[in-house]
Amino acid sequence: MSGTGAAVDTRALEAVLFVSDEPLTPAVLSQALEVDRRTVDDLCAELQRELAERGSGLVLRNVAGGWRLFTDPETQPIVERFVLSSRQARMTKAALETLAIVAYKQPVTRHQVSAIRGVNADGVLRALVDRGLIEEAGRDEGPGRPLLYATTPAFLERLGLASLAALPSLAPLLDASAGPTDAADLAADPDDGPDDGDEAAEPVVDPDESGPDTPEA
């Protein structure tokens, strides 16, 4: 394939493959790129050639029935050294925020974590998986059946907790307008809020958002 159209198509293909954390089947790529499966095969072959010709640090492989980007085998020593050193590095603020979201809302999808943080959480989730603090915990029943993430026993060990039930209460972080009893109830079951229809069911997401009025004693 050649020409401007092909270049645009392979860039789109590369972008879709880059943001995926698992192999993408021809059917999924066909739907994402809005082309037929034969075109997908041609585009993947073209992208493989382009990556090789420009000496990219990435290679495209067909594995487990789908296509996925991998680091070039020749870069293994450098990548391995970086990954091993990053495991010992102190956790960033982004990693701590993401870990807290997973801990309190698990099992949770990548999209849900990203929506709460307001930024893409793919890289941070991968880093936390690599550290052994979170793990894949099945798939959600919603459209696309996205992966679910949950904390690991290593997470409890690092925090010195006997179980997830020992996690600190979120009640003190809830909006000050909610009474102590209501705050504890909302932290335990955000869906079991006041009867006035106020949708302050996610106070953890935005503690600054006004919560429900304090009910009269």
Tokens of 181: 């009893």
Q: Please give the residue range of the domain that contains residue 202.
A: 169-217
Neighbours of 178 (CB within 10 A): 24
Residue 84 lies in a domain: no
User: Considering Cα of 112, then 116, then 122, then 167, what sign does the dihedral take?
Assistant: negative
Q: Which residue has the tokens 């907790």?
A: 161
Please say if the pLDDT value at position 216 is more than 80. Answer: no
Residues 211 and 147 in one domain: no
Residue 82 lies in a domain: no
Please say if the pLDDT value at position 6 is more than 80. Answer: no
- State the pLDDT at residue 103: 92
For the ranges 25-29, 48-52, 95-99, 155-159, the lowest mean pLDDT is seen at: 155-159
Length of the chain as a residue count = 217
The pTM score is 0.42
Total domains present in the chain: 3
Tokens of 20: 């995926």
Task: Give tens-digit pLDDT for 35-75.
Answer: 889 999 999 999 999 999 989 999 998 887 889 888 888 88
Using CA atoms in the order 43, 45, 51, 54, what is the torsion angle rounded to 10 degrees? -100
